[in-house]
Amino acid sequence: NAGVTQTPKFQVLKTGQSMTLQCAQDMNHEYMSWYRQDPGMGLRLIHYSVGAGITDQGEVPNGYNVSRSTTEDFPLRLLSAAPSQTSVYFCASKRTSGYNEQFFGPGTRLTVL
Amino acid sequence: AQSVTQLDSQVPVFEEAPVELRCNYSSSVSVYLFWYVQYPNQGLQLLLKYLSGSTLVKGINGFEAEFNKSQTSFHLRKPSVHISDTAEYFCAVREGYTSGTYKYIFGTGTRLKVLA
């Protein structure tokens, strides 16, 4: 199992550009989520999904879109990047029933100039 | 909504010394608590968890944590740290069931720096 994979590892964007952060998992987990990590603020939930075709907003959803067409993939889209979106982004997945451990990807470090 | 407080943003400690990383959570009827570790340039991995039962929880790499309901705390401890324990540590609590799942609230993290 590869677990949770994320691409790219690093990305630099100019203000106003768009891009998609990719996340995939091969554990057949129903739940997938995106967090951003900022100094002194810990991890904050952006969007999450409990299954294909189902997404919902987390704590800081503004400026981000998601979709979930398959169980395996959960891409995060920035339609018009802003410097405030400079952060490290983590994707995570887990089973939804009962308690289950969240597995995290290695992260994408995004800089918006 | 649940909240998690990690008061110490950085904790320097000498190698082989004991360490305690503090975590306090907002009270709730039932609570699931977690500690995650993030090594430099890596994702988070689960260190240990408290779901129920014994209040002393043992995790990987010699870490343990004690759930204290009266003080709403879940402090992480290790009796003797190594250089390799240098990392950022996050405390997390599971929120109530909404929208088909449980979500997790993370603290702001404590950066443990082990000095030679």
Q: What is the CB neighbour count within 10 angstroms for residue B85? A: 20
pLDDT of residue A73: 97
pLDDT of residue A85: 97
**Tens-place pLDDT, residues A29-72:** 999 999 999 988 889 999 999 999 999 999 899 999 999 999 99
**Tens-place pLDDT, residues A11-25:** 999 999 999 999 999
pLDDT of residue B29: 64
Window B:30-89, CB contacts with A under 8 Å: 32, 36, 41-46, 49, 51
Q: Which residue of B has its CA nearest to A10?
A: B41
Q: Which two tokens stand for residue B91?
A: 């405390």
Task: Tell me if A96 and B101 make a contact (CB, 8 A cut-off).
Answer: yes
Task: Tell me if B101 and A48 make a contact (CB, 8 A cut-off).
Answer: yes
Q: Which residue has the tokens 């950022």?
A: B88
Q: Does the pLDDT at position A76 exceed 80?
A: yes
Task: Tell me if A40 and B90 make a contact (CB, 8 A cut-off).
Answer: no
- Which strand ranges, in their side-by-side order, compose the sheet holding A4-7? A4-7, A19-25, A76-78, A64-66
Find which of B38, B44, B45, B97 to mutate to test the A interface (most A CBs within 10 Å of its CB).
Answer: B44
| B3 inside 8 A of chain A by CB | no
- Report d(CA A78, CA A20) in Å as an integer: 6
Contact A78, A24 (CB under 8 A): no
pLDDT of residue B53: 86
Task: Tell me if A90 and B43 make a contact (CB, 8 A cut-off).
Answer: yes
The residues, any chain, with a CB within 8 Å of residue B26's CB and separated by 6 or more, are: B1, B2, B3, B4, B72, B93
pLDDT of residue A101: 80
Q: Does the pLDDT at position B101 exceed 80?
A: no
Opening angle at CA B95, ends B93 and B101, nearest 5: 125
| B104 inside 8 A of chain A by CB | yes
> Which residues of chain A does B107 touch, with a Cβ-Cβ cutoff of 8 Å?
42
Nearest to A42 among B43, B51, B107 (CB): B107
> Which residues of chain B does A107 touch, with a Cβ-Cβ cutoff of 8 Å?
41-43
pLDDT of residue B80: 97
Q: Which residue did the predictor score with more confidence, B99 or B70?
A: B70
Contact B36, B21 (CB under 8 A): no
> Which residues of chain A does B109 touch, with a Cβ-Cβ cutoff of 8 Å?
42
Q: Which residue did the predictor score with more confidence, B104 or A91?
A: A91
A26 phi and psi angles, rounded to 5 deg:
-115, 25
**Tens-place pLDDT, residues B5-63:** 999 999 999 999 999 999 999 866 678 899 999 998 888 999 999 988 889 999 999 99
| A58 inside 8 A of chain B by CB | yes
**Tens-place pLDDT, residues B33-44:** 999 999 988 889
